[in-house]
Amino acid sequence: MSNIRMFEPRLFEPALSDSLESMFRRFMAPMRMDVEAGALDMRLDVAEIDGMYKVRADLPGVKKDEISVRIDGNQVQIAAETKQEKESKEGGGRWLRNERWHGAVSRTFTVAQDVDDAKATAKYEDGVLTLELPKRASTATKRLAIQ
């Protein structure tokens, strides 16, 4: 017979485990400060399809002319800036809460192979920027003849 005691579930009350579990969930959840509540955010999807990289970036509320895309070899940068538009209060009222935000966001990422920037395309529709970034044809290594 063993001297090891088995775990006794009655030692833990369900109320205690629920609060620990919810505390852990809150701790591990992404945190946002009130200052950031309406901040411009960019979500990216990058896929490699048929010799190219396809990128989808969510930029809701941003105008097309406020977006810039830069390609440098295998590095891609997407930047956007939005400005708060002036809103009028009707009937002399006051704002109780205003979550409009203005500012800039930028994301830079690298892909495995250089991008052929001459053939790259960008399209912006319904708050989603779609990039098609063809891979640059790899140049074969040249062997030099030794004289």
How many structural domains are present in the chain?
1
* Domain membership flag for residue 61: yes
Instruction: Tell me: pLDDT of 22 over 70.
Output: no
* Domain membership flag for residue 3: no
Each residue's pLDDT tens digit, 109-142: 999 999 999 999 999 999 999 999 999 987 666 7
Each residue's pLDDT tens digit, 25-50: 656 555 444 444 445 678 999 999 98
Each residue's pLDDT tens digit, 44-95: 999 999 889 999 999 988 889 999 999 999 999 999 988 765 555 566 677 7
pTM: 0.62
* Cβ–Cβ < 8 Å for 133, 71: yes
* Domain membership flag for residue 131: yes
CA distances from 120 to 35, 43, 59, 131, 132 (A): 37, 20, 19, 7, 6
Closest CA to 122 of 77, 74, 73, 60: 77
Residue 108 belongs to what domain range? 35-85+101-136
Q: What is the predicted pLDDT for the residue at 145?
A: 82
The CATH number of the domain holding residue 118 is 2.60.40.790
Residue 124 carries which DSSP code? E
Count of Cβ atoms closer than 10 Å to residue 138 Cβ: 8
* Domain membership flag for residue 14: no
